[in-house]
Chain A
Amino acid sequence: MTVNGEAKKLSGDSVVLADFLVQEGYKQGRIAVEHNGRIVPKGEYGQVVLSDSDTLEVVTFVGGG
Chain B
Amino acid sequence: MKEDKLVIGNHEFDSRFILGSGKYSLDLIDAAVKHAGAQIITLALRRTTTDDAANILDYIPEGITLLPNTSGARTAEEAVRIAKLSRELGCGDFVKVEVIHDSKYLLPDNYETIKATEMLAKEGFIVMPYMYPDLNAARDLVNAGASAIMPLGAPIGSNKGLCTKDFIQILIDEIDLPIIVDAGIGKPSQACEAMEMGAAAVMANTAIATAGDIPAMAGAFKHAIEAGRTAYLAGLGRVIEKGGSASSPLTGFLKN
Whether the pair A59, B84 counts as a contact (CB closer than 8 A) is no
Against B, the Cβ 8 Å flags (1 = close, 0 = not) of A1-20 are: 00011000000000000000
Q: Which of B2-10, B41-49, B190-198 lines the interface with chain A?
A: B41-49
Which of B43, B66, B85 makes the CB contact (< 8 A) with A62?
B43
Whether the pair A65, B45 counts as a contact (CB closer than 8 A) is no
In Å, the complex CA distance between A39 and B22 comes to 26
For A65, the chain B residues whose CB sits under 8 A away are 20-23, 42, 44, 69, 71, 156-157, 183, 203, 205-206
Q: Does B24 contact A (CB under 8 A)?
A: yes
Whether the pair A61, B89 counts as a contact (CB closer than 8 A) is yes
Whether the pair B88, A39 counts as a contact (CB closer than 8 A) is yes
Number of A residues whose C-beta is below 8 Å from B? 23
Against A, the Cβ 8 Å flags (1 = close, 0 = not) of B1-43 are: 0000000000000000000111110100100000000000011
In Å, the complex CA distance between A63 and B54 comes to 12
Q: Does B64 contact A (CB under 8 A)?
A: no
Which of B20, B26, B29, B88 makes the CB contact (< 8 A) with A64?
B20
Against B, the Cβ 8 Å flags (1 = close, 0 = not) of A44-65 are: 0000000000000111111111
Q: How far is the CB of B217 from chain A (nearest CB, A)?
A: 15
Whether the pair B24, A32 counts as a contact (CB closer than 8 A) is no
Residue of B nearest to A25 (CB): B50
Q: How far is the CB of A47 from chain B (nearest CB, A)?
A: 16
For A27, the chain B residues whose CB sits under 8 A away are 48, 55
Whether the pair A32, B89 counts as a contact (CB closer than 8 A) is yes
**Assuming A63-B24, A64-B71, is B46 touching A32 (CB within 8 A)?**
no
For A41, the chain B residues whose CB sits under 8 A away are 88
Q: Does B159 contact A (CB under 8 A)?
A: no
Whether the pair B45, A63 counts as a contact (CB closer than 8 A) is no
Whether the pair B68, A61 counts as a contact (CB closer than 8 A) is yes
DSSP majority for the B interface? Answer: mixed
Q: Does B86 contact A (CB under 8 A)?
A: yes
For B50, the chain A residues whose CB sits under 8 A away are 24-26
Q: Does B57 contact A (CB under 8 A)?
A: yes
In Å, the complex CA distance between A63 and B27 comes to 12
For B26, the chain A residues whose CB sits under 8 A away are 63
Q: Does B56 contact A (CB under 8 A)?
A: yes
In Å, the complex CA distance between A59 and B225 comes to 34
Q: How far is the CB of A50 from chain B (nearest CB, A)?
A: 16
**Assuming A30-B55, A57-B47, is B85 touching A63 (CB within 8 A)?**
no
Q: How far is the CB of B58 from chain A (nearest CB, A)?
A: 8
Q: How far is the CB of B245 from chain A (nearest CB, A)?
A: 43
Extra contacts besides A57-B47, A61-B43, A63-B56 (9): CB < 8 Å: A32-B88, A60-B46, A61-B57, A61-B66, A62-B56, A65-B21, A65-B23, A65-B44, A65-B203
- Which A residues fall within an 8 A CB radius of B? 4-5, 24-27, 30-34, 39, 41-42, 57-65
Q: Nearest 7 A-B pairs (CB), nearest first?
A: A64-B44, A65-B205, A65-B20, A60-B48, A32-B88, A63-B21, A25-B50
